[in-house]
Chain A
Amino acid sequence: MSTGLFLVQALNGLQLGILLFLVAAGLTLVFGVMDFINLAHGVQYMLGAYLGAALAAATGSFWLGLLWALPAALIFGLLLEVLVFRHLYDRDHLSQVLATFGVILFLNQAVKAIWGAAPLQVPVPALLEDGVVLMPGLQYPLYRIAVLCAGIATALGLWFLVERTRLGMLVRAGATNAPMVSALGVDIRRLFMLVFAFGAMLAGFAGVLAGPIFSVEPGMGDHVLILAFVVIVIGGIGSIRGAFIAALIVGLTDTLGKSLMPDLMRLFLDPSAARQTGAALASMLVYIAMAAILAFRPRGLFPARSG
């Protein structure tokens, strides 16, 4: 493998990682701060993509679509919180899993009833339509680079918000010991609601960004959700920093694994067997990495909750 190809693959891995981070950031906050398992987080990613697609089509501009989709996703997150999730905070995890799984089924069907089962098309915004040539014969779409930049900017913004502001301090405190924060006179319910809606908006943001690259279809959030859970478990539940590092690890492992594994297997096996086992191993690699990390750091890389 040439250095050029390796660098492109590393860039691809980073980009997948950033997208995963945007989804996982909300999930880790909700799980960490509220101790609430929200399986429906993937659906919020899907909703973001659909809202972005619909609003872009309605306004005729991807940017306007993005601008409107964010508050729409936020409001939808709030609505879900008030209608469904608020009643589940005090229940055990099993009830939460069941109820949020129900929300997945409901919203997947609802999306299908409204927009149909066929995948939707979101055009790449004209400004970012071109590509840059990073290696001979391959254009790297500007749009992907823009997604990468947007993701890194969001990560920095989040880091600032969580580590350097009063609100962030409350969130971190809530992740560490919610009853104590409440006892100190902070309205923990309102904090929860805020965190929840913000997380939903982040997932929606990731969905809108994903629209021009991936197909927008019912159930598109389900694959992402699984990877997002892997990310927050590796990173340590409730930790934004952990989610960021873990998302990059998962993105890079997945992408580099896919491109290197079949070649690596060829050292031991004949070519056709190497390709198939290599492909199978590559798709397992993320989970193997998770198991390995958890074996040494059972609470993840950067555990938020102590004791």
Chain B
Amino acid sequence: MNLISRRGAMGGALGLLSAPAILHAQPAGGVKIGLVAVQTGPQAALGSQLRDGFLMGLRHLNGRLGGLTAETVMIDDELKPDVAVTKVRTALERDRCDFIVGVVFSNILQAIIRPVTEANTFLISTNAGPSTFAGRGCNPFFFTTSYNNDQVHSVIGQVCEDQGYKRVFVMVPNYQAGRDAVAGFKSRFKGEVVDEVYVPLTQLDFAAELAKIAAAKPDAIFTFMPGGLGVNLVRQYRQAGLAHIPFLSTFTVDEAVLPAQQDAAVGLFSAASWAPNMDNAANRRFVTDFEAAFNYVPASYAAQAYDGAMLLDSAIRRAGGRLADKDAIRAGLRAADFASVRGNFKFGVNHYPVQDFWLLKVAKRADGKFQTETVRKVLENNVDPWAAECRMR
């Protein structure tokens, strides 16, 4: 009962300012965000990036989204789909969240997308962008501010074509995302794949694979080794003296793992739609203030979450703060009327971004920290390969 009375009091205080029809029982004049970010286990660093990026966005918006006071409910998915579903249900039913935002990993997204969207609540993924919801599975209540993974891997395929690499060595972990990475890469690379090596996700030592690479003498290697795998690989690659072979990667060298890779990663290549050194006003402000507030270099997880906050702000503003008017909110989200840290940003028919993709290179900054920096634009206004299959109802 305490909850009701408190809500009543807040409603009384703010009722005059807020929109008239409040079907959803959120505190009037406020908006509640359920922020899903993994905080336990070895991948917690990524969740922290995501959380801090979103909070940075809120800070720049003075704690308000589209004029409404924003309240954030933190949800630690523990990287367990069942836990995520339970906690998200609680956030929807008990906490009455108006939006669910965040999600680092695709398997968590796949678990929570139905409970959220079936409750007619918008789910805004700021990182996971699996192909399952980009094509036939596209959903009017689902948006993502990141990308479809296939796009990122295909960038490296395109780079290899552009550079004229004929023989490329491919190494990925042996699970679904790893196999998707190979498929994405091959969608644009037409040369010879010298060898495809699949390593277990629990791989510690890459010595055996590195010896194979040295023996194969490829023009370049393409790899996708997220998290600790990438830390091990990059350092061992450097120690094995293989750095003269161009190292092209996705999700292997980024600001989340660079503090552990340090000098070993300098000069290695990556692909993404954002980098900390991108030259636009929104990004300069984001990176400067983020580093001042959290004392580390933001990665794409943070940048996309920051964009997520800005997107929500613009959508709620466009809908005049009427959170219950789902069509108006959806129209606002689709318009994507905000200054993205990526510069060029709009949504395609499937609610996945249409954006530019860049080749990045790891560099050491003057202050001794490490970051990825743009080398050149590889794909412009790129639409993910699944969008054509989407029939949005």
Question: A-side interface residues toward B, CB under 8 Å?
Answer: 1-2, 4-5, 8-9, 12-13, 15-16, 109, 112, 116-121, 123-124, 131, 133, 135-141, 143-144, 212-220, 223-224, 255-256, 258-259, 262, 272, 275-276, 279-280, 283
Contacts and interface: CB of A to CB of B under 8 A. Distances in A.
A204 B136 CA distance: 52
A248 to B, nearest CB: 15
Given A119-B228, A135-B215, A143-B239, A275 B48 contact: no
Contact of A276 (B174, B209, B227, B262): B174
B312 interface: no
Contact of A224 (B179, B204, B211, B232): B204
B208 A258 contact: yes
Contacts of B44: 112, 117
B260 interface: yes
A215 to B, nearest CB: 4
Contacts of B174: 276, 279-280, 283
B241 A213 contact: no
Interface of B: 40-45, 48, 174, 179, 195-200, 202, 204-205, 207-212, 214-215, 217, 227-228, 231-232, 235-236, 239-242, 256-257, 259-262
A256 B152 CA distance: 33
Contacts, number: 131
Contacts of A2: 215
A214 B228 CA distance: 9
A144 B207 contact: yes
A262 B204 contact: no
10 contacts: A12-B211, A118-B45, A119-B259, A138-B214, A214-B205, A215-B228, A217-B231, A217-B260, A255-B208, A259-B209
Contacts of B48: 117
Contacts of A283: 174, 200
A276 B228 CA distance: 22
Nearest to A278: B198
B196 A275 contact: yes
Contacts of A143: 239
A51 B201 CA distance: 26
A121 B40 CA distance: 20
Nearest to A220: B228
A4 B217 CA distance: 14
Given A217-B42, A259-B211, A121 B260 contact: yes
A123 B198 CA distance: 28
Contacts of B217: 137
A213 B198 contact: no
B203 to A, nearest CB: 9
Given A119-B260, A137-B215, A219-B42, 19 more contacts: A5-B212, A15-B205, A15-B207, A16-B204, A119-B228, A138-B210, A140-B240, A141-B239, A141-B240, A143-B239, A212-B235, A215-B231, A216-B260, A217-B260, A223-B202, A223-B204, A224-B204, A259-B209, A279-B198
